[in-house]
Amino acid sequence: MKLTLVAGDPESAPKNSPTLYKTDRGSWVVQGWVVDDPDALATLNLPNGETAVEIPDRMIQFFTNP
């Protein structure tokens, strides 16, 4: 998988995280804060091999094809 950096959170210091990447497979990789709230995870009902991350609303503007 080839990742292309799309954007880091411009309001996060010092590491620009959360971060969004576009892949060469027609998908996105999102780096964000680990969701570890048990009630939220139970609501998501995540299957094995999946996880959840949280990103701020201000990052949504970057979900476009670069």
Q: What is the residue type of 19?
A: T
CA dist., res. 31 & res. 59, Å (int): 11
Could you report the per-residue pLDDT of 8-64, keeping only the tens digit for each?
988 887 777 899 999 999 999 999 999 999 999 999 989 999 999 999 998 888 887
Strand partners, 22: 4, 28
Specify the pLDDT at position 49: 93
Global pTM reads 0.80
pLDDT at 15: 75
